[in-house]
Structure 1
Amino acid sequence: MNESAPIRALATAVGTLFAPGGMRGCLSTLIYHRVLTKPDELNPNEVDADTFEQQMRLLAEHCHVLPLDEAIERLYTRSLPARAVCVTFDDGYADNATIASPILRRYGLSATFFVSTGYLDGGRMWNDTVIEAIRRAPDDVLDLTAEGFGVLPIGSINQRIHAFQCLIDNIKYRSAEERIEITEAIAARVGAVLPDNLMMSSDQVRDLHAAGMTIGAHTVNHPILARSSNHVAREEIANSRSRLQEIIGKSVELFAYPNGKPGCDYLSEHVDIVREFGFKAAVSTAWGVATATTDRWQLPRFTPWDRHPLRFLARLYWNCHRHV
């Protein structure tokens, strides 16, 4: 955005008004999953490299981008700067390391990467199995009657998007065993070779940490904690953290709840587990910004979906204004 000096000054003034620091400080935490090489018709909600770079340039010019752990401590000591922002990524996609990280470093920015360790080194998340199977299905319809989903029309891009969104919504809240069984059956029905390079390697996680990025835990298998036993939930959280600490050789102190909607995807007992395990803070996907009165083990985040630069900044500041 090649704005003039008066426009830059106005943007800064508006941002400071809507996102103050100090005693009234608020923290915006952005949530991303992937940064694609180029736009993907089947994944229109995932940013591409050009859009992500534009957004990071805006943040570098107009905001104070802080490491999440530092921002959290400054939030509760009421010493946040105005227009405070953190950047986070969930799941552990390989493009976080190959595309997002170089862009972040180019602008001198830090981000936190919440990694589900069960998919490192050649794994694939169950939802990506569905998406990539639908992408490769050769015909205009996909007969999943035997799997309980009927015959799905997939003759257009919109129909394919609708098909995999319906499948994901149907499968998401089933047990981990059911999710694997169903998604593998869908992949087998399509019969195509699916990618095994979507997620990061352990070396890429290590490299992110070495580059000054923060690594956070995100469970092993990305379960819906609210649908898991407390025993399974504890193992998922603890084992994810342990594996990441082995990889980076440093304590992992931040956690992100899978899927992340309070009261739906995780419950108060899972907050208690995270607190008991000694994590310094945890993030959800509840929409909003954090203030000094926010539970540090349920910090809100939001997704900046606007692609136009001015709308991106306006959405960022308006999100602060309506939640503070």
Structure 2
Amino acid sequence: MLDIGKQIIKQIVSPLADRAGVYDHKVESLLGSTNRLLVLMYHRVIDDLASDPFALGMCVRQKYFEEQLAWLAANTQVLPLNVAVQRLLDNEPLPPHAVAITFDDGLLDNLTCAAPLLEKYRLPATFYIITGGLEEGTPMWWDQAIAMLATTNAQSLDPRAVGLPELPHELSLHRHARRASCITILNALWERNPTAIAQCLEQMRRVLRPGTIPPALRAPRMNVEQVQEMARRGFQIGAHTSRHIDPKLFNREQLRADLLASRRQLQDICQQPVDSFAYPGGRSSVWMPDLLDTLGFHHAVDTRRGINQAPAARFAIARVGMPDTPVGDFKRAIRNLTIIDATH
């Protein structure tokens, strides 16, 4: 019922409220200042809802993405993230309605769907690339789990049989419960290191016996040449770790080695500096900000919702994930944000 209520708000209430001008004044009051920056976060741009079987908030349909970009081009000043962050850090004025656009993970649709539309509206963006498995095209661990859960004929799953004994003894995979079970499993996998995740995924394949993965569910990644192409086309490339694992599962030296290897690989691929970082899933650790500073990163973005205000925290730049909805609900998402005060 909660999901149905959210859909009613997004698809019916928000467009009506937007046509009545309900959101415009609040958005103007939030973004009109010259010391604020709104950073938008996307992951995937898709043309088929079959690519997002559990509606986990990671995908925006291409038609809505273009609507959002058209509104941004007409009503905001979209800046390269590194330029905007530097102005925040220096307490220099930003243009009113300053916005930056970011993408996490490095999926192929970033190149095939998102990049052409960004170029059409002449909007800069930063793409954070996971480097582990980049050359082999290894699917992301969460995409592997989602594809299995979406294609299995099993009606339940005993988590103990797949290496997740802390979960309830039986997870329903019936149609109306499968999304919730998917979220539960993904959250449990976030608590595990790469070896344990790989073991759990292999056990899931054995137990669930998933069907053939259709093209819409394969979530292919950009390869090395395609990341190079993004850089050549003028998009900023940022680091996003090599394996997209919770940093709290590693010690300082392990984190340092991962950050160095990830950045070095991207710099070799793109032949340009890589000094922007995105925390994996917004997760950090007590060592991360100091490590990023020591290693020479300029700034880092996380997944806290909010609008950044000078003086900003260099390694805690807030972002807001964009909804798979028309512009009216897009503006509602902005309207509900708060100002991040890094001095408190």
- Which bracket does the TM-score occupy, shorter chain normalised? 0.7 to 0.9
Question: Counterpart amino acid of 1:152?
Answer: L
Distance (Å, rounded) in 1 between the aligned partners of 2:333 and 2:207: 42
d(CA) in 1 for partners of 2:27, 2:324: 17
Matched, 1:62 2:75: yes
Q: Which residue of 1 aligns with 2:143?
A: 128
Query: SS state of the match for residue 119, structure 1?
Result: coil
Q: Cα distance, 1:51 vs. partner?
A: 1.2
Find the partner of 2:277 among 244, 249, 255: 255
Aligned to 2:320, what secondary structure does the other structure show? Answer: coil
**Match runs of 1:161-176 below 5 Å:** 161-176=179-194
2:154 maps to 139
SS in 2 for 1:238: helix
Whether contact under 8 Å (1:64, 1:83) holds in the other structure is yes
1:20 matched to which residue of 2?
A: 32
Residue 210, structure 1, aligned to residue 228, structure 2: no
Corresponding position of 1:103: 117
Task: Give CA deviations for 1:187-213 in whole Å, capped at 9, x if unaligned.
Answer: 232334557662111111111111111
- The 2-side partners of 1:184 and 1:43 are apart by 24
Residue type matched to 1:42 in 2?
Answer: F
Structure 1 position 30 matched with structure 2 position 49: no
13-22 or 307-316: bigger deviation = 13-22
Q: Distance in 2 between matches of 1:151 and 1:16?
A: 49
Offset at 1:317? 4.2
Deviation per CA, 1:117-165: give whole Å up to 9, x if none: 0132411111111100011102333455422464432231x32211211
Query: 2:264: which partner in 1?
Result: 242
- Are residues 1:155 and 2:174 paired? yes
Measured after TM superposition, the shift of residue 291 of structure 1 is 1.6
**Alignment RMSD:** 2.4
What is the alpha-carbon distance in structure 2 between the residues aligned to residue 18 and residue 319 of structure 1?
8
Q: Is the 8 A contact 1:144 1:186 kept in 2?
A: no
Q: 1:136–1:109: structure 2 CA closer, same or farther, 3 Å change rule?
A: same
Does the 8 Å CA contact 2:157/2:170 hold for their aligned counterparts? yes
| Cα deviations by residue, 1:264-323 (Å, 9 ceiling, x for unpaired) | x31232100000111111111122121222211111111132623123124324425x54
Are the counterparts in 2 of residues 15 and 83 from structure 1 also a CA contact under 8 Å? no
* Unmatched segments (≥5 aa) in structure 2: 1-14
Instruction: Determine the C-alpha separation between the residues in 2 that align with 1:237 and 1:254.
Output: 11
Residue 227 (1) aligns with residue 249 (2): yes
Helix, strand or coil at the partner of 1:246: helix
The 3 A distance-change label for structure 1 pair 11 and 212 is farther
Q: Relative to 1, partners in 2 of residues 1:117 and 1:212: Cα closer, same or farther, differing over 3 Å? A: same
- 1: CA distance, partners of 2:229 / 2:24: 34
On the 8 A contact 1:30/1:301 being kept in 2, the answer is yes
> What TM-score, normalized by structure 1, do the two folds share?
0.88
- Partner SS state of residue 124, structure 1: coil
Q: Which runs of 5+ in 1 are unaligned?
A: none
Q: TM-score w.r.t. structure 2 length?
A: 0.83
Q: 1:312 to 1:159 in 2, by over 3 A?
A: same
The answer to whether 1:48 aligns with 2:61 is yes
Q: Larger RCO: Structure 1 or Structure 2 (Cα < 8 Å, ≥ 6 residues apart)?
A: 2
Structure 1 contact 65–109 (Cα < 8 Å) conserved: yes
Distance 2:83 2:185 in 1: 39
Distance 1:139 1:227 in 2: 32
Q: Do 1:16 and 1:82's aligned partners in 2 also have CA atoms closer than 8 Å?
A: no
Distance in 2, matches of 1:318 and 1:155, equals 34
Q: Distance in 2 between matches of 1:166 and 1:15?
A: 34
Q: Which residue of 1 aligns with 2:327?
A: 309
Alpha-carbon distance between aligned partners in 1 of 2:145 and 2:272, rounded to the nearest angstrom:
35
Deviation at 1:53, TM superposition (A): 1.0
Partners of 1:11 and 1:110 lie apart in 2 by 25
Q: Secondary structure at the match of 1:268?
A: coil
Output the CA distance in 2 between the equivalents of 1:234 and 1:30.
27
Question: CA offsets per residue over residues 8-39 of structure 1, 9 Å max, x none?
Answer: 999877544321343xx111111111111222
Q: Please, which moves more after superposition, 158-167 or 231-240?
A: 158-167
Q: Which amino acid aligns with 1:93?
A: L
- Which amino acid letter does the alignment assign opposite residue 74 of structure 2? E
